[in-house]
């Protein structure tokens, strides 16, 4: 980074740290904070979509769909997320490649499972083995987002299911009395109104999601915990910057990061709650009205 | 459990070879110096990086480095997320049932105990090891009390802070740590011969790739470059071919 | 089938050190996987149940302190909840383990005047005590927040009625405020219990070392995945056990919920809903 960093061993303390903290590895560490934030921002809407789908399925009048919706939420929530992450990504990856294999190489005669090996034709590889570096990274990241979304979608489905039921029945009945179909009443009355009931549950889910991100390294994304461990571990002189075990300091930095993220989220979610409470016949809404009047 | 690729693609060396060739993805752990580690630029480095790049050059392959957690390094290989494992992996019968190995590129290497004093009780004391290593399995069979830690770093820390009486790990991993501990850590007892030599892991169905690497390793053994590389990374008195 | 019974005899209590000393190493059978992973579950239940039990009392105290007018009580409670709810359990385990290791190994003599107790600090670095303390503090913070919310939701009328009956101080709290608070908090508290049990899998995974290969269900699942190189069998077994455990928790908490609500008219009884409000 700096011009004086060519021979770290000879540097005085201050310069040594200036160089140490700007190595390529540290840059990757700082970058991983952005990866975590990006994952949070991408996963939240995707998980919400999964949750919405799950909640709709659980409400469906077609029984098998309803069983599927309820089964999805019950099973995924019953399992600790680590256990899920330990095998799910490989399963997902193999599933995708198996599908592509069936479509792209219909006349492949060798078996896909050869002993312990999982072998698909070269065109079905995901991503193709000669694909550029960033494609592999993007694919790994997408799998992580998908896995997180499936897990957190199950929780979101549960919250949204409850929120849909919390919308006062009379509102839907009124809509139907005005001649709306079941579908219209759902989309025009239930969906716009359910958010205020869903918000406490969803904000908690967001907090949960923040704290689940250290598990990202199980999914193969090099996240902040991976780098904190890697950078903090004692380094012998095989490295340019040897140092003793500094994991404590790195983990303390992570602690500050997570506490900060939690605090910012609390403030933002508090504002959203206040906004959504406007004109709602809930205790929060009443309080806002009184405050304004 | 796919790990992102850290290092850049090793350059295809001759233009003629660069045509129509598949990229071989080399899986490693990146946390076991001097075999393989992530250097300060965030790239895979170490003995195996240098060896792997040379082997790829000799076999005329384009190689790309990928790091993966040790725990899932074999499942991800058989699942096709990368094509080789080059991560200081000893050839054991259990592993050989699931994957195939190339010939050894490192002779069998002893494990050693490291402790705060040379006269600790290695048969009845508390011995630390990394979870899931051959060392952990070995300690479980001796009379000693096994304590397992998730990373090699923690095993050393446990000896330093007195949690464990000694740690058992590959001698070449411990050598620089003992040398740089300023006399705090010492080797205890005799080295223990564990496991076979170290080879590259490939899928059982990938016989062609295995052959290519076997030939490349043979040629490096024949012209002495492999031994030179071993001495460079493991010291002058390391076992060679 | 017979050999499976033998396996169960040898390994059913392996996680607490009873039975065969060596874990199965080659030719691992499904029976061995089921038995050992199930054996590890003993530790998950141990951590979950004890942390929940002790945490319950601390949580009540924290909730009361959080609602106190005195800033000397309120501020520490707020910070306690913020720090434990705002950081991943992963990092809490790491920091506590590091701190416990630094404590002197000898034990601290505590003189109580009439009797001298030697606190064995070395047990703190063992999972059975150290991890239990972390989980206990963690669940106390989460439940404290839940109880605090419930405390604020206790109907004003109930308090007024208690005043009218001349109940004051401890009696008012014990007979009126506390039961109502519990009743209101119970659905969310049930979720907290479920998530706490799920969180116990982190103990050996990232926090504390395993001694003599005695670990929890995830430790053994990991062991088998490592030995068989096939993650698709041990982890789903683990998942299956946890689904059963979750169902058992819901059943037990549902019974308590019925008892808490037994005085209410049938239609007003709160249905016990399993909603994900809190996790670490």
Q: How many CB atoms lie within 10 A of CB A93?
A: 22
Whether residues B187 and B201 share a domain: the answer is no
| Domain annotation covers residue C8 | no
Flag whether pLDDT at A44 surpasses 50: yes
Q: Please report which confidence band the pLDDT of residue B4 belongs to, taking 50, 70 and 90 as the band edges.
A: very low
Flag whether pLDDT at B90 surpasses 90: no
CATH number of the domain where residue C186 is located: 1.10.3720.10
Shortest CB distance from A201 goes to which of C222, C275, C280?
C275
Across the interface, whether the CB atoms of B204 and A115 are under 8 A apart is answered: yes
**Taking the C-alpha atoms of A188, A192, A198 and A200 in order, what is their torsion angle to the nearest 10 degrees?**
-170
| Domain annotation covers residue C262 | yes
| Domain annotation covers residue B40 | yes
**Complex ipTM, two decimals?**
0.84
Chain A / chain C CB contacts < 8 angstroms: 111
Sketch the domain layout of chain A as residue ranges: 18-292
Whether residues B21 and B121 share a domain: the answer is no
Whether residues B129 and B102 share a domain: the answer is no
- The domain total for chain C is 1
Q: What percent of chain A has pLDDT over 70?
A: 94
| Domain annotation covers residue C5 | no
Alpha-carbon B145 to chain mean position: 25
Across the interface, whether the CB atoms of B140 and C22 are under 8 A apart is answered: yes
| Domain annotation covers residue B66 | yes
3-state helix, strand, coil in chain C (%, to 5): 70, 5, 25
Flag whether pLDDT at A190 surpasses 80: yes
What is the total residue count of chain B?
A: 241
| Domain annotation covers residue B241 | no
Whether residues B87 and B200 share a domain: the answer is yes
Whether residues B19 and B72 share a domain: the answer is yes
Q: How far apart are the first and last CA of chain B?
A: 35
**Nearest Cα to C212, choosing from A85, A250, B142, B240?**
B142
Q: H or E segment at A92?
A: helix A81-104
Q: Please, are residues B90 and B137 in contact by the beta-carbon 8 Å criterion? A: no
pTM, to two decimals: 0.85
Flag whether pLDDT at A266 surpasses 50: yes
| Domain annotation covers residue C99 | yes
Residues 3-42 of C with CB under 8 A from B: 21-23, 25-26
Whether residues B73 and B135 share a domain: the answer is no
| Domain annotation covers residue B222 | yes
Whether residues B96 and B169 share a domain: the answer is no
Q: Per the structure block, which two tokens stand in for B215?
A: 């030939």
Q: Per the structure block, which two tokens stand in for B180?
A: 């740089």
Interface test with B, best of A90, A221, A239, A246 (most B CBs within 10 A): A90
Flag whether pLDDT at A169 surpasses 50: yes
Whether residues B127 and B30 share a domain: the answer is no
Which letter, b or e, does each residue of A255-281 get, where b requires 16 or more Cβ atoms within 10 Å of its Cβ? bebbbebbeebeeebeeeeeebbeebe
Query: What's the pLDDT score for residue A1?
Result: 57
Whether residues B213 and B97 share a domain: the answer is yes
Flag whether pLDDT at A45 surpasses 90: yes
Flag whether pLDDT at B22 surpasses 60: yes
Whether residues B92 and B207 share a domain: the answer is yes
Across the interface, whether the CB atoms of A117 and B205 are under 8 A apart is answered: yes
Q: Please report which confidence band the pLDDT of residue B2 belongs to, taking 50, 70 and 90 as the band edges.
A: very low
- B131: closest CA of chain C, how far (Å): 8
Q: Please report which confidence band the pLDDT of residue A264 belongs to, taking 50, 70 and 90 as the band edges.
A: very high
Q: What confidence tens digit (pLDDT) does each residue in A85-123 have?
A: 888 888 888 888 888 888 888 777 777 777 778 888 777
Q: How many CB atoms lie within 10 A of CB C163?
A: 12
The residue segments making up the domain with residue B179 are: 110-193
Whether residues B82 and B65 share a domain: the answer is yes
Flag whether pLDDT at B217 surpasses 90: yes
Across the interface, whether the CB atoms of A83 and C239 are under 8 A apart is answered: yes
- CB-count burial class (<10 Å; 0-12, 13-18, 19+) for A136: buried
CATH number of the domain where residue B58 is located: 3.40.190.10
Q: Per the structure block, which two tokens stand in for B228?
A: 């030179």
Q: Mean pLDDT, consecutive 10-residue segments, chain C of 280 residues? A: 82 87 84 94 96 96 92 94 92 89 64 59 81 95 90 84 89 89 87 90 86 90 87 92 93 90 66 43
The residue segments making up the domain with residue C230 are: 28-268
What is the total residue count of chain C?
A: 280
Task: Using the structure block, give the residue that is written with the tokens 């190489």.
Answer: A105
- C106: closest CA of chain B, how far (Å): 11
Across the interface, whether the CB atoms of A239 and B75 are under 8 A apart is answered: no
| Domain annotation covers residue C12 | no
- A68: closest CA of chain B, how far (Å): 27
Q: Please, are residues B176 and A238 in contact by the beta-carbon 8 Å criterion? A: yes
For chain B, which residues lie within 8 Å of any Cβ of chain C, measuring from their own Cβ? 71-72, 74-75, 78, 94-95, 98-99, 128, 131-132, 137, 140-141, 145-150, 154, 157-158, 161-163
Across the interface, whether the CB atoms of A86 and C205 are under 8 A apart is answered: no
- The domain total for chain B is 2
Q: What confidence tens digit (pLDDT) does each residue in B155-183 have?
A: 998 898 888 899 999 888 898 889 888 88
Shortest CB distance from A117 goes to which of B34, B78, B180?
B78
Q: Give the architecture-level CATH label for domain A18-292.
A: Orthogonal Bundle (1.10)
């Amino acid at each position: 980074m700096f011009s004086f960093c060519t021979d770290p061993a000879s540097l005085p303390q201050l310069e040594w740290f200036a160089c140490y903290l700007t190595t390529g590895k540290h840059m990757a560490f700082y970058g991983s904070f952005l990866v975590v934030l990006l994952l949070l921002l991408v996963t939240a809407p995707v998980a919400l979509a999964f949750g919405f789908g799950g909640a709709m399925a659980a409400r469906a009048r077609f029984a098998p769909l309803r069983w599927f919706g309820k089964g999805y939420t019950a099973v995924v929530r019953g399992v600790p997320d680590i256990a899920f992450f330990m095998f799910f990504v490989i399963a997902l990856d193999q599933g995708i490649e198996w599908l592509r294999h069936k479509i792209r190489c219909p006349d492949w005669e060798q078996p896909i499972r050869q002993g312990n090996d999982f072998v698909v034709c070269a065109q079905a590889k995901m991503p193709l083995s000669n694909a550029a570096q960033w494609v592999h990274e993007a694919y790994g990241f997408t799998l992580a987002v998908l896995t997180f979304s499936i897990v957190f979608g199950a929780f979101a489905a549960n919250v949204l299911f409850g929120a849909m039921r919390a919308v006062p029945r009379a509102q839907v009945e009124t809509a139907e009395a005005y001649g709306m179909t079941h579908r219209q009443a759902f989309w025009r009355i239930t969906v716009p109104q359910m958010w205020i009931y869903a918000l406490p549950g969803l904000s908690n889910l967001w907090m949960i999601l923040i704290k689940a991100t250290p598990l990202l390294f199980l999914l193969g994304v090099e996240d902040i915990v991976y780098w904190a461990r890697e950078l903090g571990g004692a380094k012998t002189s095989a490295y340019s910057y040897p140092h003793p075990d500094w994991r404590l300091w790195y983990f303390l930095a992570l602690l500050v990061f997570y506490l900060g993220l939690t605090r910012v989220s609390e403030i933002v979610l508090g504002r959203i709650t206040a906004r959504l409470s406007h004109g709602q016949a809930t205790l929060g809404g009443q309080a806002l009205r009184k405050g304004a009047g | 459990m796919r790990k992102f690729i850290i290092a850049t693609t090793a350059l295809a060396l001759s233009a003629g070879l660069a045509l129509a060739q598949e990229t071989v993805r080399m899986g490693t752990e990146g946390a076991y110096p001097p075999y393989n580690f992530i250097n300060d630029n965030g790239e895979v480095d170490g003995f195996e990086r240098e060896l792997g790049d040379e082997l790829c050059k000799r076999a005329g392959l384009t190689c790309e480095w990928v790091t993966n957690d040790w725990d899932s390094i074999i499942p991800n290989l058989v699942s096709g997320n990368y094509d080789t494992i080059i991560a200081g992996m000893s050839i054991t019968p259990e592993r050989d049932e699931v994957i195939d190995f190339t010939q050894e590129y490192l002779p069998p290497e002893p494990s050693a105990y490291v402790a705060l004093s040379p006269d600790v009780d290695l048969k009845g004391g508390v011995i630390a090891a990394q979870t899931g290593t051959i060392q952990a399995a070995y300690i479980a069979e001796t009379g000693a009390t096994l304590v397992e830690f998730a990373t090699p770093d923690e095993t050393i820390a446990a000896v330093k802070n007195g949690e464990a009486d000694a740690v058992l790990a590959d001698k070449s991993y411990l050598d620089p740590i003992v040398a740089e501990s300023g006399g705090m850590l010492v080797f205890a007892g005799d080295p223990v011969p564990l496991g076979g030599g170290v080879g590259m892991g490939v899928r059982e169905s990938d016989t062609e790739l295995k052959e290519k690497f076997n030939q490349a390793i043979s040629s490096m053994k024949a012209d002495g470059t492999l031994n030179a590389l071993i001495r460079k990374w493991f010291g002058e008195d390391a076992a060679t071919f | 089938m017979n050999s499976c019974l033998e396996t169960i005899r040898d390994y059913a209590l392996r996680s607490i050190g009873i039975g065969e000393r060596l874990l199965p190493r080659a030719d691992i059978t499904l029976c061995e996987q089921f038995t050992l992973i199930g054996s590890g579950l003993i530790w998950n239940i141990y951590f979950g149940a004890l942390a929940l039990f002790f945490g319950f009392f601390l949580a009540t105290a924290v909730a009361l302190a959080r609602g106190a007018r005195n800033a000397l009580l309120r501020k520490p409670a707020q910070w306690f909840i913020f720090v434990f709810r705002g950081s991943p359990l992963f990092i809490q385990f790491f920091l506590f383990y590091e701190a416990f290791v630094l404590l002197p190994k000898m034990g601290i003599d505590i003189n109580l005047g009439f009797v001298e107790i030697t606190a064995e600090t070395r047990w703190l670095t063992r999972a059975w005590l150290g991890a239990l303390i972390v989980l206990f503090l963690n669940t106390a913070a989460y439940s404290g927040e839940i109880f605090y919310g419930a405390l604020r939701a206790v109907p004003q009328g109930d308090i007024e009625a208690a005043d009218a009956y001349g109940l004051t101080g401890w009696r008012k709290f014990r007979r009126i405020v506390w039961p109502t608070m519990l009743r209101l908090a119970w659905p969310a508290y049930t979720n907290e219990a479920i998530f706490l049990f799920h969180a116990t899998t982190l103990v050996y995974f990232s926090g504390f070392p395993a001694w003599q290969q005695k670990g929890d269900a995830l430790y053994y699942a990991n062991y088998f995945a490592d030995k068989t190189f096939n993650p698709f069998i041990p982890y789903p077994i683990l998942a299956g056990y946890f689904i059963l455990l979750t169902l058992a928790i819901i059943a037990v908490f549902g019974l308590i919920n019925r008892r808490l609500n037994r005085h209410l008219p049938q239609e007003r009884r709160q249905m016990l809903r399993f909603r994900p409000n809190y996790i670490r």
